Structure 1
Amino acid sequence: MQPPRFGRQAKPRKPWERPPRQPDRRKRGRAGQRERAQVLAEEPLCRKCLERGLEVATDEVDHIVPLSEGGTDTRDNKQGLCKPCHDAKSAAERAAARRSRPDLL
């Protein structure tokens, strides 16, 4: 039997949730929209598809190194990708995270 806990208790945090009072490094609001528009204007074609010789329009703005892995939210860490390439890259990153941290299932 556990002893009683008095005082205000923090609710348990899910493994993927940010700890409280940890700053969010993602740009939000007008600054984020402006940078997203800049990436789409500079890279109208998907970067991954161009490497394979295809010309597909950019749909998504992607962080090259994810913020969760220490990437920054600056322009040099962003790229334009089409939806299928972005989904594949995100799935691969989630799989790698699951392999390195099995508690994140």
Structure 2
Amino acid sequence: MRFPSQMPDLPRVLGQRPRKRSIGGSANLRDHSRGYRRLCASLLDAEPLCRYCRSEGRISPATLIDHVVALSLGGSNDRSNLAPACADCNAAKAVVEQRFVARGYDVADVMLEPGLAGWVKKAQT
């Protein structure tokens, strides 16, 4: 007879699936309050174009609000950390953030990573 510790197909605790390692922010970091939704709407009204595209001389409408420094990397929901973005820029930035997290770098090294630092500079211009 094999014991559960020797069976790789079974989870450690019977009846529960192993938790997947989440890349990116977790749900408890997200703010779903009415005030935050109002803040996002006011940002999109005030700045209807993608900030990242604008820094490169392109014009595309902003459809969502992006955290310049991701919540999972120590960012906040403060207005200064939010930027209007198009879906393409948001997806491209998310890929860079996921690579950063997958490499196992420390959150303090966010500005040392050339890919992430470039996105932060684009958001600040």
Is the partner of 2:28 in helix, strand or coil? coil
Deviations 1:63-104 (A, max 9, x none): 001110111111111001111111100111111111127xxx
State how 1:5-20 maps to structure 2 within 5 Å. Answer: 12-16=18-22
Q: Distance in 2 between matches of 1:13 and 1:54?
A: 41
State how 1:1-105 maps to structure 2 within 5 Å. Answer: 12-16=18-22, 24-100=28-104
Q: Number of matched residues?
A: 93
Q: TM-score, normalised by structure 2?
A: 0.62
Q: TM-score, normalised by structure 1?
A: 0.72
Deviations 1:4-26 (A, max 9, x none): xxxxxxx6543229xxxxx9342
Q: Distance in 2 between matches of 1:68 and 1:30?
A: 22
Percent sequence identity over matched residues? Answer: 34
Instruction: Give 2:88's aligned amino acid.
Output: P
Q: Does the 8 A contact of 1:25 with 1:73 survive in 2?
A: no
Runs of 5+ unmatched residues, structure 2: 5-15, 106-125
Q: Distance in 2 between matches of 1:50 and 1:13?
A: 40
